[in-house]
Amino acid sequence: MSLTKDFSQKFYQRLMGDYDSSLSEAGIKGERLAKRLAMLSEIGLTTEGGSSRMGFSKEERAAKELVKTWMKEAGLDVREDGAGNVFGRVQGRDKGEPTIMSGSHVDTVPNGGHFDGTLGVLTALEVVEAWKETGYQPKKSYEVAIFTDEEGSRFDGGFSGSAAMVGDLNREEQIKLIDVYGNSFQQVLEDDGLTVDGYFASERNKGEVVTFVEVHIEQGKQLEKRDLPVGVVTGIAGPCWLEVAFYGAAGHAGNTPMNDRSDALIAASQFIQQVERLPRETSPTAVATVGKMQVHPNGINVIPGKVTLTVDIRDIHKETRDLLIDKIIQLGNAVADERAIQVDYHENIRIKPVPISFAMQGKVMKAVEEEAFSAYLLPSGAGHDAMIIGRHLPVAMLFVRSIDGISHNPKEWTALNDCVVAAKVLKNLIEDLTR
Ligand SMILES: [Zn+2]
């Protein structure tokens, strides 16, 4: 047996090992979900047991083609747009009604996990599989979506598919992109059987789709801590990346007395330590992280003359996120004043957070409670296709418990019981939305 087959068989057995088969009901089947997760795990399998399916790669393409065959078997009307997004459609009873959509992505980060994205696509499809058994016919149309290149490992960006669907693109800038292998955007598209013109023509008419729902692994530990299989997402945080530079004076570590120094690293450390308390003082969902730092000249016997560092600042509400940015800048100024050194700031990105409406949160809560679980509310710190789509139409997100919060890693895991609960909650929600 090949290593790949061997892996996917073990993966399937591990999923089924602690599965409570009484959860398979009303047409939702844990065995089918497990089998599909396992089959997708074979595509782009790495030697460490992870998944490498970069956006627009032949692996992402193979994963899409496999899901397309399942979509067709489930009776969906399948089409692909110019951005490589795949849509499988169930025609609603009422032809005049707009469409409800659910899905996610099948690309992964290099050596990523087997649930990120994939679970959202497969649960969306499982809803249709269930309808085949229960005979449910939605009044509104329903589409299962696979969005291209969500992770952005190829162009250091991401959301290439969902952004094309909602028309959030700047053609001039997009066509200048060069991928990690040095290929042009046009070349990358053509290698995947797509064209630049087709890509920019894939925007869907406004009003055609009215709601988007995304099921996704949590990639954190909040649900695990509360012993809950799923959680209701309250909003998707928009990041701001701030680059901060402290300028002191480099000097000899031996010949400069302690009272005659402008040490940029001491100022930076004072700043970093205080950054930690600011999110808490600003909003319960805000976070800030100093993740990168460079010390100049970085010598063992030289007083640091310059330090640059990055602060990643997020919240699900724009007001508090922007307030936190201001507080961090004030902190930097105060530290620089106190230590008589210079500071400056450069903002790399500032993406608008996407709050999820209370009405949508309420619908998801109801769908969770129908499965007899308490509806726990939590924000999404990471970006998702729902963030891009949420700028244009109402979105909802359901998080599924991650083991130890591990993600973007071969160790990423979500128990099949939780995957099945998520599929059932999604089915409740989609039936509510398509009624
Ligand atoms: Zn994802």
Q: Phi/psi class of residue 211: alpha, beta or left (left: φ > 0; alpha: ψ in -120 to 50)?
A: beta
**Residue position matching structure tokens 């063992």:** 300
pLDDT of residue 90: 97
The model's confidence at residue 351, banded by pLDDT at 50, 70 and 90, is confident
For residue 379, how far is its CA from the centre of ligand 1 (angstroms)? 15
The residue from 302, 335, 350 where one domain ends is 350
Domain count, the chain: 2
Q: Specify whether 116 is located in the same domain as 33.
A: yes
For residue 237, how far is its CA from the centre of ligand 1 (angstroms)? 14
| Average of per-residue pLDDT across 325-354 | 95
Mean pLDDT value across the chain: 96
The residue from 294, 321, 350 where one domain ends is 350
For residue 418, how far is its CA from the centre of ligand 1 (angstroms)? 17
For residue 175, how far is its CA from the centre of ligand 1 (angstroms)? 24
For residue 63, how far is its CA from the centre of ligand 1 (angstroms)? 15
Render 175-228 in DSSP notation, one character per residue: TT-B-TTS-BHHHHHHHTT--HHHHHT-PPPTTTEEEEEEEEE--SSHHHHTT-
Q: Specify whether 229 is located in the same domain as 344.
A: no
For residue 384, how far is its CA from the centre of ligand 1 (angstroms)? 6
Structure tokens at 293: 């730092």
For residue 300, how far is its CA from the centre of ligand 1 (angstroms)? 42
Domain that holds residue 263: 238-350
Instruction: Give pTM, 2 decimals.
Output: 0.90
Q: Specify whether 181 is located in the same domain as 317.
A: no
How many CB atoms are located within 10 Å of the residue 326 CB? 10
Q: Specify whether 338 is located in the same domain as 420.
A: no
| Average of per-residue pLDDT across 184-193 | 97
**Closest Cα partner for 290 from 326, 342, 333, 328?**
328
Q: Specify whether 267 is located in the same domain as 314.
A: yes
Structure confidence by residue, pLDDT tens digits, 75-98:
999 999 999 999 999 999 998 889
Q: Specify whether 258 is located in the same domain as 358.
A: no
Q: What is the CATH number of the domain that holds 156?
A: 3.40.630.10
pLDDT of residue 348: 82
| Average of per-residue pLDDT across 194-221 | 96
For residue 213, how far is its CA from the centre of ligand 1 (angstroms)? 13
Q: Specify whether 125 is located in the same domain as 214.
A: yes
Q: Specify whether 285 is located in the same domain as 411.
A: no
Q: Specify whether 125 is located in the same domain as 59.
A: yes
Q: Specify whether 121 is located in the same domain as 100.
A: yes
pLDDT of residue 1: 62
The residue from 350, 373, 402 where one domain ends is 350
For residue 116, how far is its CA from the centre of ligand 1 (angstroms)? 5
**Closest Cα partner for 309 from 263, 261, 339, 271?**
271
Q: Specify whether 213 is located in the same domain as 67.
A: yes
Least confident piece of the model among 289-293, 347-351, 401-405 = 347-351
For residue 27, how far is its CA from the centre of ligand 1 (angstroms)? 26
pLDDT of residue 91: 96
The model's confidence at residue 166, banded by pLDDT at 50, 70 and 90, is very high
For residue 132, how far is its CA from the centre of ligand 1 (angstroms)? 28
Structure confidence by residue, pLDDT tens digits, 121-130:
999 999 999 9
Q: What is the CATH number of the domain that holds 341?
A: 3.30.70.360
Q: Specify whether 47 is located in the same domain as 114.
A: yes
Give the whole-angstrom CA distance, residue 61 versus residue 39: 14
For residue 357, how far is its CA from the centre of ligand 1 (angstroms)? 21
For residue 149, how far is its CA from the centre of ligand 1 (angstroms)? 10
| Average of per-residue pLDDT across 269-284 | 97
* Model confidence at 215: pLDDT above 80: yes
According to DSSP, the residues that pair with 252 across neighbouring strands are: 302
Determine phi and psi for 34, rounding to 5 degrees.
Answer: -65, -45
Give, as residue ranges, everything with CB less than 5 Å from ion ligand 1. 116-117
For residue 355, how far is its CA from the centre of ligand 1 (angstroms)? 18
For residue 214, how far is its CA from the centre of ligand 1 (angstroms)? 10
| Average of per-residue pLDDT across 252-259 | 94
For residue 150, how far is its CA from the centre of ligand 1 (angstroms)? 7
For residue 26, how far is its CA from the centre of ligand 1 (angstroms)? 27
Render 266-278 in DSSP notation, one character per residue: HHHHHHHHHHTTH
- Given a contact cutoff of 8 angstroms between Cβ atoms, the answer to whether 317 and 353 are in contact is yes
